[in-house]
């Protein structure tokens, strides 16, 4: 997309962006100076590059101006409504975690525009309810359900093998995500946040790339979080086993990894358009259950699920999005930097490529030649 004057390449900056916090440094309440807190960084200290060490933060953050919803409202004044006035009938979209929140809101918007929608969800009952709601509200019958646990790499490989044989795919939306606050392991012995947010995203995307490669204008969109801005890529402890476990920081690290994945894929798969995004703070079940204190403080100013989904939808269907370079990080339909000014979150040389190698090793361990998945209508 041709850059809109004065808006492209903008920086996430204190008080100027949806969901941004300005936080005093964690070292000492009311200390001199402030640092820019990350958009979407969960409560207080995550805004700083040097968190205070408390999983609950130091309590010093305050939102200075753009609250999540008002940030959206001001950003959306610059949106071009025509960008989303498209018919995507005949195109196939796969959305993970689409029974709820941002994923379901995205699925509805795509279904309204005529797209074939594949919902990939882990819980059959919740997924069937969501499918019914999407079909009823949009009148689009081309909504299909696949039951897959994104924290289970074996299941993902099997699902993808079968999906490739039966469907085409134009757009993959990696939306499923979690913030598990205690260190829990999956049945494969993988730390759950890593398994879902990072490895699941890697395996599903890798497995479906050959299908996407067949299409013109293929896209992959990953729903990350501005919370990642507080984290430098750490490839030495992907499963967070060596230090005191802090679910907020583990989540932020996973979301940083999703940004790196997107950048790396963009370099190696030139005919697919990759993007990664921050939805802003939206009122969803994940925010309510994973961050109850934050939710209580912020609930009156959170974005709606549809507002959180807006940039995902824009990246998925608009021709404007595809005109921008592949591999960028977006908020409110605009590319934004992946590092805060003065933050020491840049990776040392080689770490980003090494992450890809490590994930490839992990993913191969779970690959099996057999296929078969549960597809429900
Ligand atoms: N809401 C925000 O303000 C915000 C901010 C930054 C980033 N995000 C990101 O936005 C994405 C969507 O979250 P949301 O806020 O819309 O929350 P949500 O409504 O709770 O949606 C999360 C979805 O992911 C699914 N999911 C979680 N683990 C899964 C697994 N192992 N396998 C398959 N599906 C799984 C959930 O399924 P179940 O219903 O079965 O649990 C649900 O459908 C996440 O990646 C999140 O990190 C959200």
- Mutation to probe ligand 1, out of 38, 98, 102, 287 (largest number of atoms < 8 A from CB): 102
Q: What is the pLDDT of residue 373?
A: 43
Higher pLDDT, 18 or 298: 298
DSSP output for 167-195:
---SEEEE------SS--B-TTS-BHHII
Lowest mean pLDDT among 7-16, 21-30, 358-367: 21-30
Q: Is 302 within 8 Å of 317 (Cβ atoms)?
A: no
Is the shortest distance between the CB of 279 and ligand 1 below 6 Å?
yes
pLDDT class for 267, splitting at 50, 70, 90?
Answer: very high
C-alpha 59/C-alpha 335 separation (Å) is: 30
Q: Is 122 within 8 Å of 148 (Cβ atoms)?
A: yes
pLDDT class for 369, splitting at 50, 70, 90?
Answer: low
Lowest mean pLDDT among 10-19, 65-74, 110-119, 331-340: 10-19
Please give, one letter per residue, the 3-state secondary structure of 47-89. Answer: HCCCCCCCCCCCCCCECCCCCHHHHHHHHHCCCCHHHHCCCCC
Is residue 207 pLDDT above 90, yes or no? yes
Average pLDDT of the residues in 303-328? 98
Average pLDDT of the residues in 12-33? 29
CA of 177 to the centre of ligand 1 (A): 4
Is residue 146 pLDDT above 50, yes or no? yes
Q: Is residue 23 part of a domain?
A: no
Higher pLDDT, 10 or 220: 220
Average pLDDT over the chain reads: 84
CA of 196 to the centre of ligand 1 (A): 10
Is the shortest distance between the CB of 281 and ligand 1 below 6 Å?
yes
Q: Is residue 119 part of a domain?
A: yes
Residue nearest to atom 1 of ligand 1 (CA): 282
Q: Is residue 10 part of a domain?
A: no
CA of 289 to the centre of ligand 1 (A): 11
Q: Is residue 18 part of a domain?
A: no
User: What element of type H or E holds 143?
Assistant: strand 143-147
**Backbone region of residue 57 per phi and psi (left: phi > 0; alpha: psi in -120 to 50; beta: other values):** left
Q: What is the CATH number of the domain that holds 229?
A: 3.40.50.720
Of the chain, the percentage scoring pLDDT greater than 70 comes to 80
Is residue 282 pLDDT above 50, yes or no? yes
Span 159-174, pLDDT tens digits: 999 999 999 999 999 9
Q: Is residue 3 part of a domain?
A: no
Is residue 28 pLDDT above 60, yes or no? no
Q: What is the pLDDT of residue 51?
A: 30
User: What element of type H or E holds 241?
Assistant: none
Is residue 24 pLDDT above 70, yes or no? no
Q: What is the pLDDT of residue 113?
A: 98
Is residue 360 pLDDT above 70, yes or no? yes
Residue nearest to atom 42 of ligand 1 (CA): 97
Q: What is the pLDDT of residue 180?
A: 97
Q: Is residue 39 part of a domain?
A: no
Is the shortest distance between the CB of 177 and ligand 1 below 6 Å?
yes
Q: Which residue is catalytic, options 72, 202, 251, 295? A: 251
Q: What is the pLDDT of residue 370?
A: 60
Average pLDDT of the residues in 262-271? 98
Higher pLDDT, 234 or 24: 234
Q: Is residue 121 part of a domain?
A: yes
pTM: 0.86
pLDDT class for 212, splitting at 50, 70, 90?
Answer: very high
- Look at strands 21-24 and 34-37 and give their pairing: antiparallel
Residues spanned by the domain of 236 = 74-368
CA of 274 to the centre of ligand 1 (A): 20
Whether 251 is catalytic is: yes
- Mutation to probe ligand 1, out of 20, 43, 46, 97 (largest number of atoms < 8 A from CB): 97
pLDDT class for 38, splitting at 50, 70, 90?
Answer: very low
Is the shortest distance between the CB of 24 and ligand 1 below 6 Å?
no
Q: What is the pLDDT of residue 57?
A: 32
Q: What is the pLDDT of residue 66?
A: 53
Is residue 30 pLDDT above 70, yes or no? no
Is the shortest distance between the CB of 140 and ligand 1 below 6 Å?
no
CA of 106 to the centre of ligand 1 (A): 12
Most confident of 11-25, 78-92, 357-371: 78-92
Q: What is the pLDDT of residue 242?
A: 87
Helices (H), the chain: 68-76, 101-112, 124-138, 153-166, 192-193, 200-213, 247-268, 285-290, 292-298, 305-317, 319-323, 351-365
Q: What is the pLDDT of residue 67?
A: 67
CA of 219 to the centre of ligand 1 (A): 20
Average pLDDT of the residues in 28-41? 33
Q: What is the pLDDT of residue 368?
A: 79
Q: Is residue 15 part of a domain?
A: no
Lowest mean pLDDT among 42-51, 168-177, 227-236, 260-269: 42-51
State which ligand 1 atom lies nearest to the alpha carbon of 179: 47
Sheet arrangement for strand 218-223 = 334-335, 328-331, 272-277, 218-223, 171-174, 92-96, 116-121, 143-147, 374-376
Is residue 53 pLDDT above 70, yes or no? no
Per the listing, tokens 């093998």 go with 161
Give the number of domains in the chain.
1
C-alpha 239/C-alpha 272 separation (Å) is: 29
Q: Is 245 within 8 Å of 179 (Cβ atoms)?
A: no
Average pLDDT of the residues in 18-47? 32
Higher pLDDT, 377 or 43: 377
């Amino acid at each position: 997309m041709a850059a809109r004057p004065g808006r492209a390449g903008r920086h996430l900056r204190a008080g100027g962006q949806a969901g941004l916090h300005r936080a005093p440094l964690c070292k000492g309440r009311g200390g001199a100076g402030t640092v820019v807190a990350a958009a979407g960084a969960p409560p207080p200290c995550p805004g700083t590059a040097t968190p205070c060490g408390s999983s609950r933060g130091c309590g010093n953050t305050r939102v200075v101006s753009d609250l999540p919803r008002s940030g959206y409202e001001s950003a959306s004044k610059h949106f071009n409504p025509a960008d989303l006035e498209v018919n995507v009938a005949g195109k196939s979209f796969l959305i993970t975690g689409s029974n709820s929140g941002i994923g379901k809101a995205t699925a509805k918007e795509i279904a309204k525009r005529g797209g074939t929608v594949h919902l990939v969800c882990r819980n059959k009952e919740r997924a069937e309810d969501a499918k019914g709601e999407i079909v009823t509200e949009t009148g689009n019958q081309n909504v299909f359900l696949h039951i897959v646990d994104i924290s289970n790499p074996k299941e993902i490989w099997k699902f993808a093998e079968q999906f490739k044989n039966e469907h085409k795919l134009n757009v993959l939306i990696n939306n499923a995500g979690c913030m598990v606050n205690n260190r829990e392991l999956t049945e494969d012995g993988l730390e759950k946040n890593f398994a879902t947010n990072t490895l699941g995203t890697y395996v599903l995307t890798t497995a479906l790339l050959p299908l996407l490669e067949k299409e013109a204008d293929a896209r992959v969109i990953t729903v990350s979080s501005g919370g990642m801005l507080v984290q430098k890529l750490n490839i030495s402890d992907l499963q967070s086993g060596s230090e005191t476990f802090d679910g907020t920081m583990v989540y932020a690290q996973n979301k940083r990894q999703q940004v790196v994945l997107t950048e790396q894929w963009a370099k190696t798969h030139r005919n697919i358009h990759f993007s990664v995004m921050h939805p802003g703070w939206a009122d969803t079940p994940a925010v309510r259950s994973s961050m109850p204190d934050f939710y209580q403080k912020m609930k009156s100013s959170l974005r709606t699920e549809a507002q959180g989904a807006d940039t995902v939808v824009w990246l998925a269907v608009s021709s404007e999005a595809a005109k921008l370079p592949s591999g960028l990080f977006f908020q409110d339909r605009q590319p934004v930097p992946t590092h805060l000014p003065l933050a020491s979150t840049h990776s040392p040389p080689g770490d980003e490529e090494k992450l890809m190698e490590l994930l490839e090793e992990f993913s191969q361990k779970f690959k099996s030649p057999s296929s078969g998945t549960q597809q429900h209508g």
